[in-house]
Structure 1
Amino acid sequence: MQIPIKPIFVFHTAARAGSISRAAQELSVTPSAVSQQIQTLELQLGVALLAKAGRGIVLTEAGERYFSMIADQMEQISEATATIKGFRSVTSLTIRATPTLSNKWLLPRLNSLLDMHPDLEVRLDGTNEPTDFRQEIVDIELRHGDGRWPGLFVEGVAEEDFLPVCSPGYAAAGTLRPEDLPRYRLIHSAKSQAQWTSWFPLAGVTPGDRWQRVLFDRSHMAIDAAVNGMGIALESTLMMGAELSSGRLICPVTSPPPLRLVTQWIVCPFEHLRRPKVRTFLEWLRAERDAWQASQQSPEVTHLRR
C-alpha cells in the first residue's frame, strides 16, 4: 500500500489548526486544495475524519483517534526535516488555563520559558471551560477544580493559603479580629473553592444573617477590587503574590486561621506526556512552582500570614 504522505500532512495541519482556512494559510494553498487532500485521505481510509461545526471544523471520533496516533510522528518528521535543512523549527504549544492563574501567576513568569526555549511558540487560552481533549487541539491544561478527572493525567500545581486581604487604605495590617470582619464589606469570588462561609467557622465566628458584600465570578476581579479599596477579599497567595509583595494588599486580621487548598491542577491525556514540548513545559512549570513554594517560606511572607 502506498502511503499518502501529502494528504496525511495536510490533514495533520488542518486538525492542529482547527480550521481549513488557517491550514490553507499555513500551507500557502487554497482552502479547496486542503479539502481535496483531506477527502483523498478519507476515501483511502474509508472513514470521515473531519466534520463541519459552524465556520470551523471538528474531528470525528475516527479523526481524533487518527490524529492522536500520527501527531507525535508528524512533529518528529517536521523537526527532523528542519534539522537537516540547518535550522530549528518553531514548535507550537497550546496551553489552556483559568483566567486568574493566567493573569496573576502564569503570564508574569512566561517570559522565562520563552527565553529558555526560543523555538517554542506559545498560545495561552484563558478560560474556565474544561478542555474536551477528544475535540479540541490543546496540549495541556491548568484546570480549576477538585482534581478528580478519571482517565486523565492530573497533578496539583501547588498548595495555596487563603487569606483575608485588603488595601492598606481600607484597614491597616493586623488591626482586626476575625469577629470584626462582618462589619466590613466582604468581597466574594463566586467560583472560588474558599468561601467566607467556610472561613468564619474556622475562625470561630458566627456572622449575622445580613452581610455587606460584593460578588465577582473571577478571582482576579476580586483581587483587583480589594487593591482598589472596595473591601476585604478572601484570596489565594498563589494568585495575589505580586500584590502582597508590593504592599498593595495586606492581611488586616491578626493570626488568621489557616485555610490551605489545592485548587489548580495540571491536566492532559496521558499520551500527551510523550510529546517533547509538553515535557518541556512541565519541567519549567514545576521549577517555577518549586521556586514559588520556597519563597513562601521566607520570613517576610510568613509575617504576612500572622
Structure 2
Amino acid sequence: MRDLNLKGTEYFEAVARLGTVTKAAKELEVSPSAVSQQLGQLESQFGVKLFRREKRRLILTLEGDRLFQTLTQAFGAIRNARSAITHQRAVRNLTIRVSPSFGVRWLGPRIASFAAENPDWNIRVDATPDFSAFETELVDFDLRYGHGGWAGLAETCLLHDFVLPMCSPAYLEELRGYSDDPKEQLRRARLIDSVKMLFRWDLWLASNRIEVPDLTYPFRFDRSSMAIELAKQSGGIALDSVTLCLPELQRGELVPFCTDFAVIDFPAYWFVCPPRHLNRRIVRRFADWIEAACADHEAQMRGFLEGVGCTFRPETGH
C-alpha cells in the first residue's frame, strides 16, 4: 500500500463515475489538467490503460472497470465508517456499571428522573457484578457494592445498607406455630442464602450466638432480587438488604423476622471512578443527583426500621 497513489485512485473513481475529466475536476475542485496528470500516473503505476475514449466520454477498460468496482466498495466503506464515527462523536453518552440487583431494584425505578433532567444524553446501564477495568473499558463510573478501599480510584459512599432476616407474614406465622423462641424458629426455618451478600447466614448466626446444627441452605441465589422474591412467596427467610426491598417492607409483603436482633448497618454502595472522570460535567451531575436520591432513601429506610422497633449494629467489615 505504500506505493499506491491514493490521490490518483480518488481522481480515477470520480472520472469513472462521472464520465468526463471536466466533471470530475469540478467535483474535486481542481483543474482538469491535475486530474489528467493523476490518471496518467495511475495508469503508469498499474501498467495498463484504465480508459478508452469514445467521442467525448471516457469508457472504462476491463481493467479499469475492475478497479472502479473495488474502489466503489472501498470508498463506500470508508464513508460509512466516517459517518458512524462522526455521529458517535456528536452523540453524548454516559455509561454506568452497576451490580444487577441494585440496578434492577433501586436504580431502575429512579433513573428516568435523571434522564428527564438531561434529555440530550444517552444513558447506558451495564448491570454486572464485575467491576470496571477503567484503563481498558469505556465506562464513566461504577456503582459498587462492597466495603470500599479501591486503590487509585475516587470513591464516595452513597448509601449505608441495612441487613436483617426478612420473610413473609404468612411464613412468620408458620414458624411461630412451632415455637415462641426466635432461635428455635431459625433452627426450623428454610434459610435462603444470598451468596454475594457481604454478610451471610453463617456470620450472622455466629454473631448472634445462635447454633444451627447441620446448617444447610435449601435455596441459594447469586442475585438478591431472587432471594427477596422467594421470601415474599413464603419460601423461607432471606438475610438481605433493606436497600433492595424497602417498598415490600412498607407494603407489608415482607416483615422483619424478629426485631430482637439488631440490624447490621454498614457503608455498602459506592460511586467509584478514576479521579479524572470527575472532570466531566455529566459525571459530576449524576454524582450529585444520586447522592441526593440515596440520602433520601437512607432516611426512609432508617425511619421505617426505627418505626417497627429495630435497633442498629454498625459494622465496618467482617
TM-score, normalised on structure 2? 0.66
Aligned counterpart, 1:16: none
| Residue of structure 1 in register with 2:108 after alignment | 107
Gap change, CA 1:211 and 1:305, over 3 Å in 2: farther
Tell me the alpha carbon deviations over residues 222-242 of structure 1, each in whole angstroms, 9 at most, x when there is no partner.
111111221100011111112
Whole-angstrom distance in 2 between the partners of 1:135 and 1:30: 30
Q: Is the alpha carbon distance of 1:235 and 1:277 closer, same or farther for their aligned partners in structure 2, counting shifts above 3 Å?
A: same
1:114-193 counterparts in 2 under 5 A?
A: 114-172=115-173, 177-193=182-198
Matched residues, number? 229
1:85-135 residue CA offsets vs partner (Å, 9 max, x unmatched): xxxxx6321111000110111111112112222223211110011111111
Matched, 1:227 2:239: no
SS in 1 for 2:255: coil
Which of 279, 283, 290 is the aligned partner of 1:274?
279
SS in 2 for 1:158: strand
Picking from 303, 307, 314, the partner of 1:303 is 307
The Cα of 1:243 is off from its aligned counterpart by 1.4
The answer (yes or no) to whether the contact 1:176–1:253 under 8 Å persists in 2 is: no
Deviation for aligned residue 1:192: 0.9
Contact conserved, 2:140 with 2:277, CA < 8 A, in 1?
yes
1:261, CA displacement in angstroms? 2.2
8 Å CA contact 1:91–1:277 kept in 2: the answer is: no
Q: Distance in 1 between matches of 2:117 and 2:251?
A: 27
- Could you say what secondary structure the match of 2:93 adopts? strand
**Offset, 1:138:** 0.7
- Where 1:207 maps in the other structure, the secondary structure is coil
Change (3 A) 1:219 1:188: same
Q: Show the counterpart of 1:8.
A: none
Query: Could you say which residue in structure 2 is the equivalent of 1:66?
Result: none
Amino acid of the structure 2 residue aligned with 1:252: F
The letter of the residue matching 2:92 is T
- 1:287 maps to which residue? 292
Contact persistence 1:203–1:257 (CA under 8 A):
no
State the AA in 2 paired with 1:256: F
Residue 204 of structure 1: how far off its partner (Å):
2.1
**Counterpart-to-counterpart distance in 1, 2:209 and 2:191:** 17
Give distance in 2, aligned partners of 1:145 and 1:206.
27
Greater CA radius of gyration, 1 or 2?
2
Q: Matched residues in 2 for 1:277 and 1:204: separation?
A: 48
Find the aligned partners of 1:213 and 1:176 in 2 and give their Cα distance. 22
Give, as a single letter, the amino acid of the residue that structure 1 aligns with 2:307.
Answer: H
Offset, 1:181:
0.7
Q: Please provide the CA RMSD for this pair.
A: 2.6
Preserved CA contact (<8 Å) 2:165 2:237? yes
Q: 1:209 to 1:92 in 2, by over 3 A?
A: same
Deviations 1:63-102 (A, max 9, x none): xxxxxxxxxxx98xx6xxxxxxxxxxx6321111000110
CA distance in 1, matches of 2:302, 2:240: 18
The residue that corresponds to 2:206 in the other structure is 201
Which residues of structure 1 form unaligned runs of 5+? 1-28, 38-73, 79-89
Contact 1:189 1:195 in 2 (8 A): yes
Instruction: Tell me by how many angstroms 1:35 deviates.
Output: 6.4
Q: Distance in 2 between matches of 1:159 and 1:95?
A: 20
- Work out whether residues 230 and 236 of structure 2, in 8 Å CA contact, stay in contact via their aligned partners in 1: yes
1:284 aligned counterpart, secondary structure: helix
Q: TM-score of the superposition, structure 1-length normalised?
A: 0.68
CA distance change for structure 1 residues 215 and 301 in 2, over 3 Å: closer, same or farther?
same
One-letter identity of the residue aligned with 1:93: L
Distance 2:217 2:132 in 1: 36
Provide the rounded CA distance (Å) in 1 between the counterparts of 2:287 and 2:154: 12
Unaligned runs of 5+ in 2: 1-74, 311-318
Q: Is the 8 A contact 2:161 2:266 kept in 1?
A: yes
**Structure 2 vs 1, CA of residues 287 and 36 (structure 1 numbering), >3 Å: closer, same or farther?**
closer
- Whether contact under 8 Å (1:95, 1:138) holds in the other structure is yes
User: Identity, % of aligned pairs?
Assistant: 33
SS of match in other structure, 2:209: coil
